[in-house]
A and B are shown apart, each in its own frame.
Chain A
């Protein structure tokens, strides 16, 4: 069975600095998708970035980028120029290509931004 592990329950970063959140996963599938979701105190789940496993190029969205290492089954999120509004829980998620019930979330990393 697939698993998603986020080994950092909490992290802190100074405003304007860069922080990297870790995520590893385990799967025997070759085709899948990986996501990072942000959950601010409002509780709404907001998609930050996604990566298709068949793409070697790392996804980027403005200040957010990923380091996708397929062989190592690693999918870390880098936030550059951290802003106060980035403070939230961040969830790494795995989605199988062919089965909608295979959507697995990690336990999350709470990110604090220090002014």
Chain B
């Protein structure tokens, strides 16, 4: 079982460029999440999805977009990269809402905007 897989692991972007962070999970989890972790801080929720075709905003959604066309994949798109989006991005998944299921995390993507 690969679990949650994120690509790429590292990326440097120029201001104004766009890119997609890929996330896929093979655990047949309904729920998927995108977080960002700024230096010295905890994780903040960007977007989440409760199933294919359904997405919703988290705490810090501005500047990002997501889609969920399949259960397995949950890509995060940055349309116009800004220095404030320099961070480490984590994708996570969990099986069920409401029964305290833990989230399984990917290894993270370190993104720098210069």
Contacts and interface: CB of A to CB of B under 8 A. Distances in A.
A43 B107 contact: yes
Secondary structure of the A contact surface, majority rule = strand
Interface stretch (B20-28, B40-48, B75-83): B40-48
B48 A45 contact: no
Interface residues of B, number: 27
A35 B43 CA distance: 13
Contact of A47 (B43, B56, B102): B102
B53 interface: no
A105 B100 contact: no
21 contacts: A35-B102, A42-B107, A43-B88, A43-B108, A44-B105, A44-B107, A45-B92, A46-B105, A47-B102, A47-B103, A47-B104, A52-B100, A91-B43, A95-B100, A97-B98, A98-B97, A98-B98, A101-B45, A101-B57, A105-B42, A105-B43
Interface of A: 4, 33, 35, 42-47, 50, 52, 91, 93, 95, 97-98, 100-101, 103-108
